[in-house]
Structure 1
């Protein structure tokens, strides 16, 4: 959808269907450079706007990260494998933040989210819990049920489409 195809319409990245990353749009259209990065749905320090996510991330950041990675990777890596890898890297090297920062960058590119004045690595290094919580809230705001994972969300979306009526129900014949 570029300005030459639809002269009276401008692309609004915030009105992209929930759960559909902007990256798919970018690959299909030549005028990608016209897209602008948009804001996050919540701020980095808005952790207490979703207390359950904040608590989960404080006590078990590997679960939060695993769920984020599953969605960002579109199901190609499982929640448990990503979370376990994050945990091992964190315990062995203390640098799990470097691994999770890669996913923040990937997520920002998929959804055309603005980067802050600090790089993704610095954000995760200085405030891992806040960064993971913000990413989790962002995916929830885009319509993902984080506990279902990528495949569960696809199934839920497909089930919703299958249940939609395709044609009106007609009564049997004419009665005289």
Structure 2
């Protein structure tokens, strides 16, 4: 048992906290240099995503936004914001096009803000689907969120993590 300090003001320093490992982004081997990996009208390359985006575009947009913002915006927050903007103003292109611009910036894809805005105005669902496919083709899986993607990418290549057994081994 440790001796008590009669002053009561001294406290032991907290233990050091280990920094999380840096996130290593996937190689972009499948991406052509300076371009999109799929066309704007390649929606049926991923039919499930096409259906989800057709009926609930805010879900796909939220998944994309979480990855594009590298976890700074949650899927739910971006999706609900998109939904709220749609119900209040009837259009979301001026919000969703900003994430296309960010995605292009992250991956050095040529284009401009005006083109992004026009594309989201006239072909918003196709643009959201293309952004989803682009993230998939560059090694991300928007459907599992940023945290799971970061954890998956921070593991060394070729190392398999064994499953944990709750409660340890018993006889």
SS, match of residue 143 in structure 2:
coil
Alignment match of 2:70 (pick from 53, 67, 74): 74
Where does 1:1-20 land on structure 2 (aligned, <5 Å)? 18=26
TM-score of the superposed pair, with normalisation by structure 1:
0.69
Work out whether residues 26 and 153 of structure 2, in 8 Å CA contact, stay in contact via their aligned partners in 1.
Answer: no
Gaps of 5+ in 1: 1-16, 21-36, 166-176
Change (3 A) 1:45 1:163: closer
Inter-CA distance 109–162: structure 2 relative to 1 (3 Å threshold)? closer
| Separation (CA, whole Å) in 1 of partners of 2:87 and 2:53 | 16
Q: Give the CA RMSD over aligned residues.
A: 2.4
Confirm or deny: 8 A CA contact 1:19 1:144 kept in the other structure: no
Deviations 1:54-94 (A, max 9, x none): 11110110000001100010001100000000000011102
- Partner Cα separation in structure 1 for residue 116 and residue 142 of structure 2: 22
Distance 1:114 1:91, change over 3 A: same
- Flag as ranges the 4+ runs of structure 1 deviating above 2 A: 17-20, 162-165
Structure-2 residue corresponding to 1:95? 91
Q: Which has the higher contact order (CA 8 A, sep 6+)?
A: 2
